[in-house]
Amino acid sequence: MIKSNDPIVLKVVVGSFPVPKTELKADLYGISGSPGIAEGIARVVLNDTDLAELKSGEILVAPSTYPSWTPVFPLLSGVVVDRGASLSHAAIVGREYGIPVVMNVFDGSKRIRTGQRIRVDGDMGVVYFID
């Protein structure tokens, strides 16, 4: 647990809270971790063992990502994480691979189902449910 109220530490570790842009009519509001737009099938991953189920082109949906997950990023077309900041694993690796990342959606891993088609808009920091 972080025991610092230093705003720089909080910005790096926790990130910022999303400010819903209701005019976008998105299903989930977050913040941008990496720019770009991707549409595809969601795969909810809650632990390391679920990574084996990922298929090429899917959108990873998770509470967070970890350095041990880096090898699956080349398979992904997008990432949605419940928590994250500009220096979090998902944001850094997403930018390196040019994968759109939306972070701080808070309950994305609960609201999105594996197999659901979604659109990740890393430019605006939002997620749309296509079906």
Domains of the chain, earliest start first: 29-129 (3.50.30.10)
Q: Please check the confidence at residue 61 and state whether its pLDDT lies above 70.
A: yes
78's tokens:
């997008």
Annotated catalytic residue, options 26, 89, 92, 99:
89
18-31 pLDDT, tens digit per residue, is 777 888 899 999 99
Would you give the distance in Å from CA 99 to the centre of its chain?
10
The Cβ of residue 65 has, within 10 Å, a number of other Cβ atoms equal to 26
DSSP character string of 27-90: SEE-EEEE--EEEEEEEE--SGGGGGG--TT-EEEES---GGGGGGGGG-SEEEESS--TTSHH
Q: Please check the confidence at residue 54 and state whether its pLDDT lies above 60.
A: yes
Active-site residue 127, yes or no?
no
The Cβ of residue 85 has, within 10 Å, a number of other Cβ atoms equal to 18
126's enclosing H/E stretch is: strand 126-129
pLDDT bucket at 7, cuts 50 / 70 / 90: low
Mean pLDDT of the chain: 91
26-52 pLDDT, tens digit per residue, is 999 999 999 999 999 999 999 999 999
